[in-house]
Amino acid sequence: MRLNKIYISFFMLVTLFMACGKEKQSEEKQTMKIEKSAHKKVVYQVFTRLFGNTNTTNKPWGTIEENGVGKFSDFTDKALKKIKDLGVTHIWYTGIPHHDVIRDYTEFGISNDDPDVVKGRAGSPYAVKDYYNVNPDLADNPAQRLAEFKALIKRTHKAGLQLIIDIVPNHVARNYQGLTNPEGVDDFGAKDDKTVVYDVNNNFYYVPGEAFKVPEWQNGYQPLGGENNPLADHRFEEYPAKWTGNGSRAAQPDVNDWYETVKINYGVSPDGRKDFNELPEGFENKNYKKHFDFWKDKKVPSSWIKFKDIALYWIEMGVDGFRYDMAEMVPVEFWSYMNSAIKMKNENAFLMAEVYNPDLYRDYIRKGKMDYLYDKVQLYDTIKNIMQGHGSTDHIAAIEKWKKDIEHHMLHFLENHDEQRIASPEFAGNALNGKPAMVVSATISTSPTLVYFGQELGEPGAENAGFGSPSRTSIFDYIGVPNLQRWVNDKKFDGGASTEEEKSLRDFYKRLLNFTINSSAMMGAYQDIHHHNRYHTEWYNDKVLSYVRWDTTEKLIIVSNFNDSNHYGFDLQIPEDIIKKWNLKDGEYETEDQIYHKDKTTLKVENGVGFIRVELDPLESFILKLK
């Protein structure tokens, strides 16, 4: 506080002290209220067209008739209840907006899509063709596909879940065609000046005077696996050519480019100039309302308005939030503009984004008003190395320290549609290797936890679906997901056909996730005890990790063994500063594991330092709660 006068009367000082005391009490009450009401979030990502598919044919490049497809209607009240009972708060339905598909829907007024610019037969969910409607594959009656999705929204909310869908602002399908645009909404590019490479209000970037050419295929690749299709002629009409989704400026992109998509122009010129207002200095500290007010009187590029309107369309329909694809490829100012508009409609909207550059994290959270970003290149990559046997737990505490000011915003995951399945040979080769990693991922911070459907059942992603290779469950083709299908059990959703190993793994996930969403300490404090024990505890090593979590009502000691073959026993130390923070006197305190509730052990405090005997089997974890 800066004072304009040197002299302040004793009375003013006393008044100021009392006021500050009241303000501090008020802040403490507010903090306690937030701590009491806030809970951990768990997101269940489900690939919508695969979830309810009970067909087990799994023919490479198979059609819907051959391989089957899941529907909106497969998410029955019972299925959604089972998902919620797993310990889930939010469900992310992947592949909802209408994207390119290789199936004839012309009787519903939908144009056919060209296999030369579609990946797979079912198509990429990130090559969106119509943002104001949904994938016709997912509907029992494609003519009523939007009504069927609205019914799914109602069932999801009835189950006590919030729902998230994808928005992909960086690019759209090459053949974007809105069939059900609201009145007054033009398609992307409808008003573009195609004679120039760039104009601030063009939706796309162009290669004037050159036609688009399909990439030269490599390594024997052929669309649809070489199946005869009248549109698979290595040609696609696009004149002039547009820049490709990943930024390629060539009229003929490379086969490794995102050739099925075109890049959206956000008012950034080819030489990097920003043709829009930038946020004033210090605006990273302003709330979303201030950001919304800032943009009210500013002229923004056409693409900004289009995507803001798309987001608000889904929010009005009842969607509770979005997952943004490749958010860092879009200017942070746009996110300030769109996310603040969303929050004005629904302040509790759940906004998570794919950002892989740690140097940009704080900007996209504070300036871009993102709620959550993927903790990929730091925590996920480090844990993956440990799970594969060639990493060290010594690095984790440093990661948590680096992101201490933003830890709540860094969403944790071990699987998603972009990453390899834990049980695949290319990752860990065994789903059980994910158990200690899952405990750490889910309990080390206040941030949300993401689980990919089938992860809780040890799905290995081994199917050769067509486009791409195994280890990731295909997002491009019609396929069955075997481990999940056994749990779905002919749509009984009861695990009746699951193996004992699958049932046991799902039980572990259910116990862990439900603990995290109900534990108040998960939204409280964190402190590393790993490094203290590395220096002071015999037999403790860098395949083990330990830390503590606590709040005013819960005190937890969490310890995990990442080694898949060695048992470790040691007297884990709880440092003196933590014992002081926990207000523990010398003596003995009983603890109980919160995952299986079978293991009880005693914390002994001697001369202000805590000691607790821990015996860890391979891949075992304990969440020890002080009674």
- Tell me how far apart the alpha carbons of residues 232 and 50 are, in angstroms, rounded to a whole number: 26
Q: Say if strands 568-574 and 555-561 run parallel, antiparallel, or are unpaired.
A: unpaired
What does the pLDDT average to over 227-247?
97
pLDDT for 29 beyond 80: no
Beta strands in 575-620 (DSSP E): 587-593, 600-606, 609-616
According to the model, what pLDDT value does residue 303 have?
98
Per residue in 129-172, pLDDT (tens digit) is 999 999 999 999 999 999 999 999 999 999 999 999 999 999 99
Could you give phi then psi for residue 200, rounded to 5 degrees?
A: -55, -30
> Cα–Cα distance between 611 and 588 in angstroms, integer?
10
Q: Alpha-carbon distance 379 to 361, whole Å?
A: 14
Selection from 520, 534, 529, 494 nearest residue 594 by Cα: 520
Predicted local distance difference test score (pLDDT) of residue 38: 84
Residue 2 has pLDDT above 80, yes or no: no
Residue type at position 254: D
Q: Which residue, among 61, 54, 139, has the nearest Cα to 96 in the 3D structure? A: 139
- Of 32-36, 276-280, 355-359, which range is least confident? 32-36
* Kind of pairing between the strands at 241-242 and 609-616: unpaired
The encoded tokens of residue 280 equal 């004033």
Query: Per-residue pLDDT for 4 more than 70?
Result: no
Instruction: For 180-214, write each residue's pLDDT tens digit.
Output: 999 999 999 999 999 999 999 999 999 999 999 99
Per-residue model confidence as pLDDT tens digits over 582-611: 999 999 999 999 999 988 899 999 999 999
Q: Mind listing the pLDDT tens digit for each residue in 269-301?
A: 999 999 999 999 999 999 999 999 999 999 999
385: pLDDT strictly greater than 60: yes
Q: Of 88, 255, 252, whose CA–CA distance to 161 is shortest?
A: 88
Q: Which residue, 406, 337, 330, 341, is CA-closest to 375?
A: 406
pLDDT at 330: 98
Residue 7 has what pLDDT?
A: 31
Of 607, 619, 608, give the one whose Cα is nearest residue 582: 608
Of 465, 375, 372, 478, nearest to 419 by C-alpha is 375
Residue 452 Cα to chain centre, angstroms: 9
- Rounded to whole angstroms, the Cα distance separating 16 from 490 reads 69
Tokens describing residue 447: 């941030």
pLDDT tens for 488-533 read: 999 999 999 999 999 999 999 999 999 999 999 999 999 999 999 9
pLDDT at 8 > cutoff 80:
no
Q: What token pair was written down for 304?
A: 């900004």
Would you state the pLDDT for residue 314? 98
Whether 42 and 413 have beta carbons less than 8 Å apart is answered as no
Q: For the chain, what is the mean pLDDT?
A: 94
Whether the pLDDT of residue 400 is over 80: the answer is yes
- The pLDDT tens digits of the residues spanning 67-102 come to 999 999 999 999 999 999 999 999 999 999 999 999
For tokens 């645009």, name the residue.
Answer: 181
d(CA 362, CA 335): 13
**What's the rounded Cα separation, in Å, for the pair 432 and 501?**
9
Which residues, at least 6 apart from 344, have a Cβ–Cβ distance to it below 8 Å? 288, 289, 292
Q: What is the pLDDT of residues 468-497, one digit of tens each?
A: 999 999 999 999 999 999 999 999 999 999
User: What is d(CA 355, CA 361) in angstroms, rounded to the nearest whole number?
Assistant: 7
Residue 24 in this model has a pLDDT that exceeds 60:
no
Residue 90, helix vs strand vs coil: strand
For residue 482, cis peptide bond before it (omega within 30 degrees of 0): no
> pTM of the entire structure?
0.94
- Percent of the chain with pLDDT strictly greater than 90: 93
Q: Residue 1: is its pLDDT beyond 90?
A: no
Query: Which of 237-268 are b and which e, b meaning 16 or more Cβ less than 10 Å from the residue's Cβ?
Result: ebebbbbbbbebebbbbeeebbbbbbbbbbbb
How far apart CA 420 and CA 415 sit, in angstroms, is 7
- pLDDT bin (cut points 50, 70, 90) of residue 36 is very low
Per-residue pLDDT of 447-465, as tens digits, reads 999 999 999 999 999 999 9
